Amino acid sequence: MDIITAMLLLLGVGLVLGQLFEHFRVAAIAGEIIGGVLLGPAVFNIVAPDAILYSLSEISLFFIMLLLGIEMTVDLLRRPYRRALPLSMTSFVIPVGMMVMLLYFVLGNSFVASVIISISIGVPSISIVSVLVRNYGLLQRDGGITMLSSVVLSDLIAFLLLSAFLGTRQVIPEVFVFIIFIAAMLYIDRLITSHSEKLVKAFGRLHATDHGEKIILGTIIFGGLLVSSLFEAIGITYVLGAFFSGMLISEVVVGKDLLGILTRTLNRMNESFFIPVYFTIAGLNILIPGASYIATLIVLLLLTGAVAAYMNFRMSKRLSMDIRPESTVGLLGARGAVGVVIAGTALSYSLISHEMYSVILFGTVAMASFFPILIREGRKGGGRLPDQAR
């Protein structure tokens, strides 16, 4: 099948099923992944995954992570983790440790595969959590910011573990370089903040020119690609490079109005093309797992779902958060882009089998569909799940 026809089918099915799932208050990612399953070899075998689609998937992921970084702030890295760290332990670290022991010692998987599978299923996704926190009006609450910090910490750990297994270099030098980069980013952000007024005026003048908006957007994309390339060069996945480069773009750099324009532009690109294409392509690689894999999936979901949910509920009460404990469970149980990215990258490097990749994505769909229903905070602007909730 030619690439244009394949894209027509992937985008059309992804958009339709994504909107259909959102209508029933289920994250669009679930519908998009199922769309890929239906089009792929697992069901109708209409579209086959190939190198061209994989390359397009990587480009889509770059833009998804770049916007995700822009919507975050470097302040999340500065916030004290006295409260966020315990939530990361209960929502990610402890459940992942339990899953690794089960997969490695009981079910006999390789250690690498056990870790990859566990972090893919167990990692809460900053993409969907950030949108849910914003949509439920929790950005103004300390509990909402604490959960965002917790998820950022969990996602960073997950990506670092992935990078450790992908690279041929030793892990310690990579972590050392990564720490240096974070320190440099914090310094650059502080420097930018101290010269905010001059930068905002400079970008405002540039934006007022005939081609200013095009130049600014092109520069941001170029900067994201540059940082992503540097991350790849030191053995860390480009996904983190795109995310961190986006975090440096804020209203103290370009101003509130211009940031709104840039965010809306990238969001439209993502929502109308990159996001449905990425997750529908991800679904193409799913195979219908056998009975033994389904049993494994159920056990893993119990560990990362039920056990983690209970610990998150208790920890939320212990920390006296200004968010209902059941809402904490619903937010931290949400799965989305991060787990799919890790699983897809590991599959491309043959670190996991197609069967286990399928288990991960089925688990992602299940948790993305169920956990947001538990959120009990007041929704802003109606009952429909937001388009960005991935």
For 148-197, what is each residue's pLDDT tens digit? 888 888 887 887 788 777 764 455 666 677 677 777 777 887 888 788 88
Show the CA angle centred on residue 247, arms to residues 246 and 249, nearest 5°.
70
Nearest to 243 by CA among 372, 64, 366, 108: 64
User: Considering only CA atoms, which of 318, 26, 323, 314 is closest in space to residue 147?
Assistant: 323
Q: Containing H/E element for 164?
A: helix 142-166
Asked if 265 and 217 count as a contact pair (C-beta separation under 8 A), the reply is yes
Q: Is the pLDDT of residue 386 over 50?
A: no
The mean pLDDT of the chain is 83
3-374 CATH choice from 3.10.129.10, 1.10.3720.10, 1.20.1530.20, 3.30.1370.10: 1.20.1530.20
Q: Provide the pLDDT confidence category of residue 384 given band limits of 50, 70 and 90.
A: very low
Residue 96 CB-density burial (10 A; 0-12 exposed, 13-18 middle, 19+ buried): buried
In this prediction, residues 314-330 reach a mean pLDDT of 89
Q: pLDDT at position 69, please?
A: 80
Say if residues 301 and 285 touch (Cβ distance below 8 Å). no
Distance from C-alpha of 269 to C-alpha of 155, rounded to nearest angstrom: 24
User: 169 Cβ partners below 8 Å, 6+ apart?
Assistant: 235
In this predicted model, what pLDDT tens digit does every residue of 31-49 receive, in sequence order?
888 999 999 988 899 998 8
Q: Where are the domains of the chain?
A: 3-374
Q: Residue 387 phi/psi, 5° resolution? A: -60, -30
pTM of the model: 0.75
What tokens were used for 239? 């996904």
Per-residue pLDDT at 174: 63
